[in-house]
Structure formats: C-alpha cells, structure tokens
Amino acid sequence: MIGEFFKGLFLMIWKVVTDQPDPKVEFVSVFPATIQPIISVLLSIVPIIMVFASLFALTTLLERKGLGRIQNRLGPNRVGPFGLFQPVADGLKMLTKEDIVPHSADKLIHFLAPIVLLVPTLLAYAVLPFGQNMVPIDMDAGILFFFAVGASTELSIFMAGWSSRNKYSLLGAMRAIAQMISYEIPLIISSVTVIMIAGSLSLVEIVDKQSGYHFGFLPHWNVFTPWGLAGFIIFLIASLAESNRSPFDIPEAESEIIAGHLTEYSGFKYALFFLAEYLGMFAVSGLAVTLFLGGWRAPLPFLEIVPSYIWFLLKLMGLVCLFIWIRGTLPRLRVDQLLNFAWKFMLPMSLINLFVAAIWHFTSVWNFRGAGLGRWLLCAAMIAVPYVWLGRTLIGNKKITHRTYRFAN
C-alpha cells in the first residue's frame, strides 16, 4: 500500500516534470474508488492555489522593489537578505491586525464582500491551460466561463463600498463599477476576434490553433498578426482597467477618495481584497497569454525541450512586470478622461479590429503571388488609418505645448 503510494507519487511528479499527459492517473488509482474523484479534484486545485498565492507574495515584493528603483529609492530592504522576507512580514502584520468593522456598517455584507470577490477570481483559473497537459477543466465554453465569473466581481466591489456606510467607499465603488463595465466591452470584443479566427471558445483549442512556426522561427501566435497586435494592446489596456491597476486606479485613488471601497477594511479582510486583486491580475494576464501569446507554447522550435508550464509562467511574469513598469511610469487618469477613452477610443477601435479580423479570415483563401504580404499590409492599413484619424479627432485642436511648472522653478 505505502509502496504503491510512493510509486504513484513519484510517477506523478516525473510525469509533471517531463510534461506527459494524464499525470494524476496512477497516483489517484492508489486510493479507494469512493474518494478518487475528490483526490483528483484536490490534485488540480491545491497546486493552483499554492503556485498563485506564492506568486502573489513574490509579485508584491517585486512590485515594491521595482517601483522603488523606478522612483530612485531602495524599496523594502530590512527583513531578510535584500528584503526577501518582506511578504512574510506583511502577511504577519495583516493577520495580527485588529479587524475593525464600522459601527453603522451592514455587518453581514461587509463580511461577505471579500469572500464574494475572492471565490470567482479563483474560479476563473479553472479554464486556463497552464501547460500542455495541464488544464483543470477543458470546457467547451471556456472564455464565456472566464468572463462570466469575472463579471460577478463587480457586485462584490459594490457590496464592499455600500456596506461600509462611508461616502468615500461608495464613491470608490461606483467609480470602480463604471470603469469595469466600460472596459469590459473592449476586453470582450478584442477576445472575440481570437474566437472568430480560432473558431472555438475552448481555451485549449485556441492554444492548439497557435502551434507551428512561420519560416521555421516565427511562431504562429496571434500577436504577430495585425488584428492580433491591435487586439493584444486593447486587451492589455482594458485588463489594466479591469484589475484597477494604475493608471486606471481611480477607484482607490488615495489623493481623492482615500482608498475607495477598501477604506473601511483592515486586517485579514483587507488582505483578502489585496490577494483577490492580484489573483485577478494574474488570471487576466494568463488569459492574455493564452489568447494572444500562444499560451504555453515555446517561442522558438529548439526551446520546446523546456516544459510547457515554465513558458506559461515566464510569459505571465513578463506581463506582470510590464504592468508594474506601467504603474511606475504613467500618472493616474481623471474620471472623465477614463470614460471618454473607453467609449470614444477603445470601443470604436475594438469594433474596427473585429472587422479587420473578419477580413483576415476571408482573405486566407487568396493564393496569388505575394498574397500573404498583401493581406498583411491591407489589414495593417485598415487598423492604422482609423487609429490615426480617431486619435487626431479626439485630440481635436487642443495644442500640446511644453508643460510648464508653476512652482517648481
């Protein structure tokens, strides 16, 4: 019994390391038949939670260090070598803090809000293909599931803001909902382009459609097509807004409304919000990787010996680093700028992009000489021309001059 247990365990680990299909089968079959489904489910869930929770700890440190370097300071460097244990210290601080609930708050909803936020965020991981043979559930309507659970986080932000009975909380929550609803539309429309080309809502199949290489080195990723590049950029901007990251962090803009819907939260509940926010960011970047960056596929043919999930995590961390960089670089938008940008620029551009993707799909039957290049140029022009025109019209006749500082000089 014990021998079989360890044999199954080692076989599972070996299969995971070497990227083979169905790593769980032998290990699960050790257990009695009644608890096999539960073990199988646990083997899918526990690694996801552990990997992404530790990634969360790593990212908070990375973010603080990176922002520190961008702002020309050191960042956390007291706890452990180079401040490496800072996340542990942060976690201990959060856990031991007093949990304060405002006197006039709606206690039940105030308590439920962080849970209602965290659970859908974790559910979203159920459909992401992390590696070649690593997808918790290969669902036929995978993307739809992802967006459906993503949509239910809006309600929890409202719950947090409303139940605190604090005007700043409510203002922050309303800002967050307005922003999330506005940016959800470009987010979904830009992923519809990928669905159109791949002909499937299953994320596994979308990754499969991006296999192979042009000329032996340029992978078939969606981001290397005109509509894919435009869609990727739209998706990135919209996902920044969806995860309430800077420069779209007006729901929790400290200088205007303290901390938005988080104002009245402290201790463990605040930590849950923080965790859910980062997990949401990982999930949406994971979706971006899957849709546009080829998922777990290696960028070059000879690099395919590296296990697939390593590539997925590397691409994911690349996107997260980009998010941190953007946070350190760009100032926060005003509310009217934010909503104008969503409705007047992002929405038309994503609709045009959808149209271009349709043209890309129908010109794939061209077979004359130079058809590939012609198709590429046609689609690129169809995106670039409206982009320039729209950008010019929106800026209008506002003259952009050198910024002058009134008090600095």
Provide, rounded to whole angstroms, the least separation between the CB of residue 183 and another protein. Answer: 13
Alpha helices in 134-265 (DSSP H): 142-151, 153-163, 167-198, 203-209, 226-242, 254-257
For another protein, the closer CB: 61 or 283: 283
Nearer to another protein, 85 or 147 (CB): 147
Q: How many helices (H) and strands (E) does the chain have?
A: 16, 2
CB of 152 to another protein, least distance (A): 5
Q: Rounded to whole angstroms, how far apart are CA atoms 143 and 200? A: 9
Taking the least distance from each CB to another protein, the nearer of 62 and 178 is 178
Residue 76 or 142: the one with the smaller Cβ distance to another protein is: 142
Q: How far is the CB of 11 from another protein (least distance, A)?
A: 32
Strand partners, 213: 219
Q: Is the preceding peptide bond at 47 cis, omega within 30 degrees of 0? A: no
CB-nearer residue toward another protein: 368 or 405: 405
Q: Residue 145 CB, nearest distance to another protein (Å)?
A: 5
Q: How far is the CB of 39 from another protein (least distance, A)?
A: 20
Determine the 3-state secondary structure of 404 from DSSP.
Answer: coil
Question: How far is 273 from 121, CA to CA, in rounded Å?
Answer: 11
Phi, psi (degrees; rounded to nearest 5) at 98: -75, 140
Residue 101: what are its φ and ψ, rounded to 5°? Answer: -115, 125
Phi-psi region of 45 (alpha: psi -120 to 50; beta: other; left: phi over 0): alpha
Give 139 or 272: the residue with its C-beta nearer to another protein: 139
Which residues are paired to 214 by β-bridges? Answer: 218
- Inter-residue contact 294 to 210 (CB < 8 Å): yes
d(CA 409, CA 65) in angstroms, rounded, equals 30
Give whichever of 156 and 308 is closer to another protein, judged by the CB atom: 156
Phi, psi torsion values for 97, nearest 5 degrees:
-70, 155
β-partners of residue 101 are none
**Footprint on this chain of another protein (rule: CB under 8 A):** 109, 139-141, 144-145, 147-149, 151-152, 154-155, 158-159, 162, 170, 174, 177, 181, 184, 199-201, 336, 401, 404, 406
CB of 160 to another protein, least distance (A): 12
* Smallest gap from residue 161 Cβ to another protein (A): 10
Q: Tell me how far, at minimum, the Cβ of 107 lies from another protein, in Å.
A: 12
Side-chain-side CA neighbours of 220 within 13 Å: the count stands at: 12
Residue closer to another protein, measured from CB, 4 or 140: 140
Q: Is 220 exposed, middle or buried (0-12, 13-18, 19+ CB in 10 A)?
A: middle
